[in-house]
């Protein structure tokens, strides 16, 4: 196996904009500061994994506009193998604007530009079959399904950071070993707000391990023999952009390290919370030393309902 994790998903250039308050309709607010960062659920998780020492390859796509070279350069600088990615001539790159006010509440508008997305036939199967784990975000639907099938046959763990509900996800879920989703996803997908019911229902649909995250309320983890909740680490939150992406990268790290689920869940909650103390996703990632220091010194409450 050449790769710990092969990722397939959307990549966007985030324009992060700090405001004192969100403008009301038809009003204006002045920008305090702004920054550009490369984001997207899979690339962000992979950068986290790469910085923690995992070998990662990213299968993604971008346009040949001014952002294309920036995306390729920054992801390569994070040691992601981009052999299976492409810049498609005549298209524009994914882009998002994230507005963050002083209470860390965000408003996001995103434009993923599906015209350059990888189709199933564009997938480099030789990369997918060399992976211990394949990490997906559900876009594009047919390509993710194809990748999940190849990965499953090759014996890799298939992982999904569900984010928001996307078309065809119900076909993908039976192939999953690991599924991470925010609370808003279960409301949309299962039409329930009950975390215990949702966890049990998702486990029945395929994955061996399900996590459900809920911002300051922490996260839940479900396996056949575990029902766990970990509280969120109290932090001074500046920006929650990508907290779920970082959580799923850290979760996958614990799984690949074969840690007990309790340690894995705490590690993911701490990593995601530390990210919230800084602006953005990639540039806000904590180091292993920072995460371990909190893990050793702060007692996070972990409850169990077996």
Ligand X SMILES: O=C(O)C(=O)C[C@H](O)[C@H](O)COP(=O)(O)O
Ligand Y SMILES: Nc1ncnc2c1ncn2[C@@H]1O[C@H](COP(=O)(O)OP(=O)(O)O)[C@@H](O)[C@H]1O
Nearest by Cα to 219 from 203, 243, 255:
243
For ligand X, the binding residue among 281, 285, 291, 294 (CB under 6 A) is 281
Query: Which residue of this chain has its Cβ atom nearest to ligand Y in the complex?
Result: 244
Q: How far is the CB of 142 from ligand X (least distance, A)?
A: 17
With CB cut-offs between 5 and 8 Å by kind, which of ligand X, ligand Y, none does residue 281 bind? ligand X
Site for ligand X, residues 73 to 102, rule: CB under 6 A: 96
Place of tokens 């922490």: 218
C-alpha span between 230 and 193 (Å, rounded)? 18
CB under 5 to 8 A by kind: which of ligand X, ligand Y, none does 52 bind?
Answer: none
3-state secondary structure of 275: helix
- Sheet of strand 219-223: strand arrangement: 80-81, 56-59, 3-8, 131-136, 157-161, 178-182, 209-213, 219-223, 226-230, 302-304
DSSP 65: S
Binding span for ligand X by CB under 6 A among 37-45, 71-79, 193-201, 254-262: 37-45
244 binds ligand X (CB under 6 A): yes
Contact 39, 75 (CB under 8 A): no
Closest CA to 127 of 84, 72, 86: 84
Q: Which is nearer to ligand Y, 182 or 249 (CB)?
A: 182
Question: What residue 11 binds from ligand Y, ligand X, none (CB within 5 to 8 A, per partner kind)?
Answer: none
Q: Which is nearer to ligand X, 81 or 137 (CB)?
A: 137
- Residue 215 interaction partner, one of ligand Y, ligand X, none, beta carbon < 5-8 Å per kind: ligand Y
The distance of closest approach from Cβ of residue 63 to ligand Y in the complex, given in angstroms and rounded to an integer, is 25
Nearer to ligand X, 185 or 220 (CB): 185
Report the DSSP pairing between strands 219-223 and 209-213.
Answer: antiparallel
Secondary structure of 225-236 in HEC code, one letter for each residue: CEEEEECCCCCC
How far is 247 from 35, CA to CA, in rounded Å?
Answer: 22
What are the residues binding ligand Y (CB under 6 A)? 182, 213-216, 218-219, 232-233, 235, 237, 240, 243-244, 247, 269, 272-273, 276
Selected from 7, 17, 39, 222, the binder of ligand X by CB under 6 A is 39
Q: Which C-beta is closer to ligand X: that of 84 or that of 244?
A: 244
* Shorter beta-carbon distance to ligand Y: residue 63 or 286: 286
On the CB side of 116, CA atoms within 13 Å amount to: 26
What SS3 class is residue 108? strand
What does 140 bind: ligand Y, ligand X, none (CB cut-off 5 to 8 Å by kind)? none
Alpha carbons within 13 A on the beta-carbon side of 206: 18
Candidates 79, 91, 152, 164; binder of ligand X (CB under 6 A) is: 164
Residues that bind ligand X (CB under 6 A): 12, 14, 39-41, 44, 96, 108, 110, 137, 163-164, 241-242, 244-245, 281
């Amino acid at each position: 196996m050449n790769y710990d994790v092969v990722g397939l998903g959307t990549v966007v250039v985030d324009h992060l904009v700090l405001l004192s308050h969100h403008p009301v309709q038809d009003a204006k607010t002045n920008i305090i500061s702004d920054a550009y960062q490369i984001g997207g659920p899979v690339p962000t998780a992979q950068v986290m994994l790469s910085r923690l020492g995992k070998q990662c390859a990213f299968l993604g796509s971008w346009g040949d506009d001014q952002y294309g070279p920036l995306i390729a350069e920054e992801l390569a600088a994070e040691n992601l193998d981009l052999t299976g990615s492409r810049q498609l001539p005549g298209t524009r790159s994914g882009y998002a604007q994230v507005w963050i006010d002083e209470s860390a509440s965000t408003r996001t508008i995103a434009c993923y530009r599906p015209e350059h997305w990888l189709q199933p036939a564009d997938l480099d199967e030789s990369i997918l079959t060399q992976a211990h784990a394949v990490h997906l975000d559900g876009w594009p639907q047919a390509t993710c399904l194809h990748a999940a099938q190849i990965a499953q046959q090759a014996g890799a763990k298939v992982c999904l950071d569900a984010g928001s509900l996307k078309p065809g996800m119900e076909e993908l879920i039976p192939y999953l070993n690991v599924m991470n989703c925010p609370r808003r996803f279960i409301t949309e997908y299962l039409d329930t707000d009950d975390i215990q019911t949702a966890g049990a229902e998702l486990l029945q649909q395929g994955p061996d391990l399900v996590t459900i995250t809920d911002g300051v309320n922490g996260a839940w983890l479900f396996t056949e023999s575990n029902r766990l909740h970990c509280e969120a680490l109290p932090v001074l939150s500046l920006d929650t952009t990508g907290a779920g992406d970082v959580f799923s990268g850290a979760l996958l790290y614990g799984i690949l390290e074969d840690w007990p689920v309790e340690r894995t869940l705490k590690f993911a909650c701490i990593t995601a919370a530390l990210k919230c103390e800084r602006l953005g996703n990639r540039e806000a990632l904590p180091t292993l030393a920072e995460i371990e220091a909190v893990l050793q010194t702060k007692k996070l409450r972990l409850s169990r309902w077996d």
